[in-house]
Amino acid sequence: MLSPVRVRDVEASRGTRAEGWLAIGEAASGLIRVPLVIINGAEDGPTLCLTAGVHATEYAPIAAVMELVQSVDPALLRGAIIAVPVTNMRMFESRTGFTSPLDGLNLNKIAPGRHDGSISEILADVMLREVIGAAGYHIDFHAGDLGEELYPFAGYSLTGRRDLDAKGEAMARAFTPRLISLSPPESTIPPFAGSLNYAATRNGVVSILAEAGGNGTLHERDVRVHVEGAGNVMRHLGMIDGSSAPQGRRVAARDRVIVRAKRAGLLRLTAQIGDEIEAGQELGDIRDVFGTVIERVCATGSGIVGLIWAHKVVNTGDPILRYWITEPA
């Protein structure tokens, strides 16, 4: 007997694909729902959950999951894919960054949520128990949010369970183009407590964070990082044919540091995402309204530029960029 894969009333029998909606609750204008796609492969294999749009203005990851659910052929798949292209539809339709317009909560800071909480907490709870929890493996796709340019990376939250952590690290390595963030508990590098990744790993799911893109953009190169990374993960798990793409030099994150403005004015940044910077190196300058340079912004240490805030005018203390401190991996 070939077994169907089912999440509530969305059901795909062997070798088929199904799509539908999960109702989470109500808003005044109607149901709050999560779009769901199940691709049930023709042969046995692992179940991989793909989620995007936890932050629903992160468009490259959303586009990538949409592309993946259209391109994976159930006849050639071993195992199953359970995918949510946009987890937070209210943020998606209103183009809202970071937090839900319904309750002001950031879905990636409140996991595992609660079944009797506010709507974002209910959403976290349903996602973890019924969607991510239906899989053995999970990729949560993100990018920099509005106002954030980002260097791609993959992350995994270490649990102390050696078998699980070895699988998580291997999966993050299969995904990432270069940078990997393996996060011990209480760490300064992601995934952090409160994220879906952190909660999912505590439930025994091998769950990685996948980051590429940002600042409300939808660039093809960022979509490719996500689609190719997911393809590498599926090959690594034996779900599709082929071997993982040849892996280049990997670096592991040890810490990350924010460079902030001391003075206020127009920021002219010369540093770019992915730059390898040295301590003391000039990254740009800040000019007052008369055009006089009043601060030369310098690197406080050496690392890789991982996030640039898109704001061009800064006040004292505003973040300018964040760099990763790394080591060979």
Say how many Å lie between the first and final Cα of the chain, rounded. 44
Please say which residue, 143 or 267, places its beta carbon nearer to Zn ion: 143
Binding window for Zn ion (CB under 5 A); candidates: 39-47, 54-62, 183-191, 201-209: 54-62
- Contact yes or no for 321/259 (Cβ under 8 A): yes
Please say which residue, 142 or 256, places its beta carbon nearer to Zn ion: 142
When computed from its CA atoms, the radius of gyration of the chain, rounded to whole angstroms, is: 20
Return all residues near 105 (Cβ < 8 A) that are at least 6 apart: 99, 118, 120, 121
Please say which residue, 55 or 226, places its beta carbon nearer to Zn ion: 55
Size of interface with Zn ion, in residues (CB under 5 A): 2
Backbone angles phi, psi at 133, to 5 degrees: -70, -15
Cis peptide, bond prior to residue 61, ω within 30 of zero? no
Please say which residue, 91 or 304, places its beta carbon nearer to Zn ion: 91
Q: Is 226 in the site for Zn ion (CB under 5 A)?
A: no
Strands (E) located in 16-124: 16-27, 30-40, 43-51, 78-84
- Least Å from the CB of residue 249 to Zn ion: 26
- Contact yes or no for 18/12 (Cβ under 8 A): yes
- Least Å from the CB of residue 148 to Zn ion: 9
Binding window for Zn ion (CB under 5 A); candidates: 19-27, 49-57, 68-76, 307-315: 49-57
Please say which residue, 229 or 265, places its beta carbon nearer to Zn ion: 229
- Contact yes or no for 25/32 (Cβ under 8 A): yes
Return the residues of window 129-148 that contact Zn ion according to CB under 5 A: 142
Please say which residue, 94 or 315, places its beta carbon nearer to Zn ion: 94
> Residue 106: what residue type?
N
Return the residues of window 247-306 that contact Zn ion according to CB under 5 A: none
Q: Which of 38, 39, 55, 212 forms a contact with Zn ion (CB under 5 A)?
A: 55
- Least Å from the CB of residue 82 to Zn ion: 20
Count the alpha carbons within 13 Å of 195 in the hemisphere toward its beta carbon. Answer: 27
- Least Å from the CB of residue 42 to Zn ion: 34
Beta strand 43-51 with 78-84 is: parallel
Binding window for Zn ion (CB under 5 A); candidates: 34-42, 48-56, 222-230, 276-284: 48-56
Instruction: Give the angle subtended at the CA of 57 by the CAs of 59 and 256, to the nearest 5°.
Output: 90
Please say which residue, 108 or 326, places its beta carbon nearer to Zn ion: 108
The residues of the shown chain that bind Zn ion, judged by CB under 5 A, are 55, 142
